[in-house]
Structures are given as C-alpha cells and as structure tokens.
Amino acid sequence: MNFFVIADIHGCLHTFQELLTHWRPGEMLVQLGDLVDRGNYSPETVALCQELSQDLPDKTVFLQGNHDWGMAEHLGPNGPYRSWLNWGGRGTLLQYQAHRDWLAPHAAWLAARPLFWENEHVLFSHAGVADEIDPFDPNNSDGVLWCRRPLFNTGQRQVVGHTPTGTGLPRFDPAANAYYLDTGAVFGKNLTGLRLSETGELLETIAIPTHPKDIYPFEELH
C-alpha cells in the first residue's frame, strides 16, 4: 500500500482540502502533525481530520505535532500551558469562540494522537528521530515533537515536518535518509503531499500554493 503524506497544515483548511483531492483510494493518508495555530481555520481543520480518522481508521494516520501538543497541554489536566499562547494559541482560541463545543473534544483528540508510525522501511513523525536516549519523550527538546538537530539514520526512511524547508518544496537529506515536508503553507508558500511506496520510495510530489483565505492576518503569525 502506498502512502500519501502531508505535513504541517496549521489551519490552512482550503489548501488542505485541495491537496486531499490528490489522495487516491487504496493509499494510506499520513499527516505529520501541526493541524492548529497560525492559519485561519484551525477548528475546521481539526474537525475534518477527526472525521477522516473516524470514517477511515485503516486508511488514515494523524500524528501529533508540537502545536497540537501545546493546545492539548494548555486545555488538559496539566494546563494552562501559557507558552503555547505565544506561538499561535491566542489566535486559535479566538477561532474556537465560534465553535465552543468543539474545543474540549478537539483538545482531547489531539492529546491522543500518536507520536510516530513506522514499518520496516519508513518512520513518520513530526520532527524526526535524532541520536537521543529517549526521542519519544514529548518533553524532550530534541525529541520527535521538537527536534531541529540533524536526524539520525535509523535504517528506515524518515519523513518529517516541523522544520520549514524555506523553498516551498520538500528537502531530502541523504545522510539521514530523511524527507523534510514542511513547505511553509502557513507562510504563503505550499502545502505538499508526497506519494511514497510502502518502502519509502518517492513516487510523486504535489505542491499546492496556499489559498489566500487560509493566511491568518494578525501579528500572531510571527
């Protein structure tokens, strides 16, 4: 089974919906986290992903990103997590004022997202596995939610988001055998899908320019 992989959506709902039209029946959709913050439609983006997850549990994987984790921490039993408010959380909470009944269930659903998915050939996570003792600790600043360091070659092909490529196109790091897939949708560049074989071979790259409606108009973006 092939994979159709999408990284950081950040509330760019219209762009995401257009990219989904390229997702083929029989493929597994893998989303690498960061559904919320900075874009203009965080609640609607989470609602769509939650619906896809419920309707197609065997064909979809939605991983947790650091922004999703931040929202879940802020609204969960360990909250408030005020740091999240400074990286897009304030704008996200404003958007949820129109969908108040979604807020608690969305936060709970985001909290339950797995940190990674793997098979023998590929390893998907939000930020990637570096040479760390416990890369799957969500509080580890070099773990799979936060890592900005060079990634470790695990023997699998890693596919990650989190670190924008800067070019609007995916970047491949041969040393780590890793694809970086955050192509800056929230910054007005592209939301990109990678079509991969089950062994991680690249079959197709589809880049959708960010829809103007999706770009959040306030300083919070920065």
For 132-163, the DSSP string reads -S-TT-TT-TTSTTT--SPPP--SSEEEE-SS
The owner of tokens 């039993």 is 77
Q: What is the pTM of this model?
A: 0.95
- The HSE-up count of residue 66 (CA atoms within 13 Å, CB side) is 24
Q: What is the mean pLDDT of the chain?
A: 95
pLDDT (mean) for 151-169: 97
For 36-62, the DSSP string reads SSSBS-HHHHHHHHHHHHHH-TTTEEE
Task: For residue 69, give the 3-state DSSP assignment.
Answer: helix
Note the pLDDT tens digit of each residue in 173-188: 999 999 999 999 999 9
Topology given in CATH for the domain delimited by 2-209: Purple Acid Phosphatase; chain A, domain 2 (3.60.21)
What is d(CA 5, CA 155) in angstroms, rounded to the nearest whole number? Answer: 19
pLDDT (mean) for 95-118: 98
Domain residue spans of the chain: 2-209
- Is the pLDDT at 218 greater than 70? The verdict is no
Nearest by Cα to 71 from 85, 91, 52 = 85
Q: Is 60 left (phi over 0), alpha (psi -120 to 50) or beta?
A: beta
